[in-house]
């Protein structure tokens, strides 16, 4: 696959490292950057055949098969429109838009143009997530009750993130977009998110946007999604998911505790720890970030889908849903109310209700709980069906 990469910054380089990684047959053919020196440097580092400071030239280049947007949030829409114009397959970094209106316009544009569109939500492509989600679909945790995702760190690298105009928001938009799609994937992408309650504040940084937020997202089937996001966390990058189901639990730690622990006094040489907040003491490196963060499996899904002529796992539609949930989060943070998720476009189930989960014990009772006593007997706690009275009963006394 031959790509145009739009943007030569931190994320563009990360993407290129993955796309051109181990024995890959794909390559970044053309690089567009706003600054000539950045474009040249990138082209040199990644051995790109073409570089330019004219975005449309990169997109329109006849050898380019797919365009990868790795630009600040405020530039996504314009770039997408150019892809539509030139009928090029397009994949876009997260979040899709700064808000659902932008996202909706992009979704409608790519669909009208009939082009391939992929939404680069890498964290639903991490190997751990892929395996966990498969287990959930196979019933390993029963019915999902709650799915939380947390992403916090000490703040982004590039200056534009801190500028609310370019970024469109703070850590909710930057990090919450990951978390929303993770929770939604665990709960079921066909289940409608209904309303959001969000707390957000600027607790530490001298900025206009929020640097810390927590939200609950209610789904139509009664399941709850949760996100915890912050740009003020100390200790590195904290990336964790937790799922509770009626029959099981999932805990995933994607960064700070992955089975690699190192202590160093810092005296032993010129060792420099990456991404850690210090170079000495106990450090917790990640072996292979590109793989652990899902980039490899994400691009494989995207390019395989293009080759097969099918939709990838994550499309602009998903990006749009995520933006709609985040819009509700921002509204809630302001209004302090549960705010509805406004979805002009919804292609999943509707009218789903909470299942009844009364467990029959006998004609008159529901079963609340069964347990072993200290004496080795089985005890059941029951609720009378009509009176509602709670009682317990020893079943097989020895």
Residue 17 as a binder of a second copy (CB under 8 A): the answer is no
Residue 4, classified by CB atoms within 10 Å of its CB into exposed (0-12), middle (13-18) or buried (19+), is buried
Smallest distance, Å, CB 25 to a second copy?
Answer: 4
DSSP lists the bridge partners of residue 3 as 28, 66
Binding residue (CB under 8 A) for a second copy from 95, 155, 193, 312: 155
308 touching a second copy, by CB under 8 A: no
> Under 8 Å CB-to-CB from 338, ≥6 apart: which residues?
195, 196, 197, 218, 332
Reference 370, options 395, 387, 397; nearest CA is 395
Name the one range near a second copy by CB under 8 A: 52-60, 94-102, 107-115, 131-139: 131-139
Per-residue x/- track, 192-221, a second copy (CB under 8 A): -----x-x-x-xxxxxx---x-x-x-x---
CB of 313 to a second copy, least distance (A): 14
**How far out from the chain centre does Cα 48 lie?**
29
| Number of shown-chain residues binding a second copy (CB under 8 A) | 119
Which one among 141, 171, 179, 326 touches a second copy, defined by CB under 8 A?
141
Quote the CA–CA distance of 111 and 107 in Å, as a whole number.
6
Interface residue with a second copy, options 25, 114, 310, 375 (CB under 8 A): 25
Q: How far apart are CA 157 and CA 382, in angstroms?
A: 56
CB 76 within 8 A of CB 96: yes
With H, G, I as helix, E, B as strand and everything else as coil, classify residue 196: strand
Q: Does 368 bind a second copy (CB under 8 A)?
A: yes
Cβ distance 33 to 8 under 8 Å?
yes
* 111 contacts a second copy (rule: CB under 8 A): no
How near is the Cβ of 28 to a second copy at its closest, in Å?
13
The correct pick among 17, 57, 74, 127 for binding a second copy (CB under 8 A) is: 127
Site for a second copy in 332-351 (CB under 8 A): 336-338
Unique residue bearing structure tokens 């992403």: 151
- Contact flag: residue 230 with a second copy (CB under 8 A): yes
Question: Does position 280 bind a second copy by CB under 8 A?
Answer: yes
Among 57, 194, 224, 345, binds a second copy (CB under 8 A): 224
């Amino acid at each position: 696959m031959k790509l145009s990469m739009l943007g030569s910054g931190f994320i563009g380089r990360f993407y290129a490292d993955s796309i051109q990684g181990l024995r890959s047959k794909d390559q970044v053919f053309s690089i567009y950057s706003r600054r000539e020196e950045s474009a040249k440097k990138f082209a040199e580092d990644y051995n790109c055949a073409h570089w330019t400071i004219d975005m449309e030239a990169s997109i329109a280049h006849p050898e380019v098969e797919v365009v990868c947007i790795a630009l600040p949030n405020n530039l996504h829409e314009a770039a997408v429109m150019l892809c539509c114009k030139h009928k090029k397959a397009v994949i876009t970094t997260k979040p899709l838009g700064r808000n659902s209106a932008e996202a909706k316009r992009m979704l409608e544009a790519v669909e009208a143009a009939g082009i391939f569109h992929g939404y680069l939500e890498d964290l639903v492509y991490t190997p751990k997530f892929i395996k966990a989600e498969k287990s959930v679909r196979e019933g390993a945790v029963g019915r999902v009750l709650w799915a939380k995702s947390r992403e916090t760190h000490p703040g982004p690298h590039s200056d534009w993130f801190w500028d609310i105009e370019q970024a469109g928001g703070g850590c909710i938009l930057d990090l919450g977009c990951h978390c929303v799609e993770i929770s939604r994937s665990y709960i079921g992408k066909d289940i409608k998110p209904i309303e959001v309650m969000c707390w957000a504040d600027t607790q530490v940084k001298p900025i206009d946007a929020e640097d810390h937020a927590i939200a609950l997202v209610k789904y139509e089937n009664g399941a709850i999604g949760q996100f915890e996001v912050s740009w003020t966390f100390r200790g590195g990058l904290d990336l964790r998911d937790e799922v509770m189901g009626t029959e099981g639990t999932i805990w995933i730690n994607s960064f700070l505790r992955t089975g690699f622990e190192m202590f160093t006094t810092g005296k032993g040489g010129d060792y420099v720890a990456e991404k850690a907040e210090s170079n000495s003491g106990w450090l917790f490196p990640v072996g292979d970030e590109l793989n652990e963060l899902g980039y490899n499996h994400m691009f494989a899904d995207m390019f395989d889908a293009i080759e097969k002529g099918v939709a990838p796992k994550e499309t602009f539609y998903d990006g749009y849903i995520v933006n709609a949930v985040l819009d509700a989060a921002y509204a809630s943070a302001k209004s302090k109310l549960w705010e509805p998720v406004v979805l002009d476009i919804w292609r999943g189930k509707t009218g789903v209700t909470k299942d009844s989960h009364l467990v029959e014990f006998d004609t008159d009772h529901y079963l609340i709980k069964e347990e072993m006593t200290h004496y080795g007997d089985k005890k059941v706690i029951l609720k009378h069906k009509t009176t509602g009275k709670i009682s317990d009963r020893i079943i097989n006394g020895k």
